[in-house]
Structure 1
């Protein structure tokens, strides 16, 4: 499975590790994903991966 949020579409970003000597090596910034169960309109439940920020937003709006 991809490391991508099912609601917002957030995925990994790329950047650099920077050492004290200013050496740069590539790294990935992964999103803070959580697996949650969601109940659909037809009564079935399904597991989706959602970012922690979107989970907070959904809880706030419900």
Structure 2
């Protein structure tokens, strides 16, 4: 399972890092995910949630 946000489904984005000489190398941008205990349908469970969702209050912590 790829790590992605449980709330907004934000995941890994891939692309190229481009050097000054225009040399391209594959790289990945990963979201800032935290594994926290949240309330889902009235029951607590541990899920990966991005810090943007945590900060904006889209999840209820258990």
* RMSD across aligned positions (CA): 1.5
1:25, distance to aligned residue in structure 2 (A): 1.0
CA distance in 2, matches of 1:47, 1:54: 15
More helix by proportion, 1 or 2?
Answer: 1
Residues 1:46 and 2:45 are matched in the alignment: yes
- The answer for unaligned runs of 5 or more in structure 1 is none
For 1:25, the equivalent position in structure 2 comes to: 25
- Please give the secondary structure, in 1, of the residue aligned with 2:6: coil
* Matched residues, number: 57
> TM-score w.r.t. structure 1 length?
0.79
- The answer for unaligned runs of 5 or more in structure 2 is none
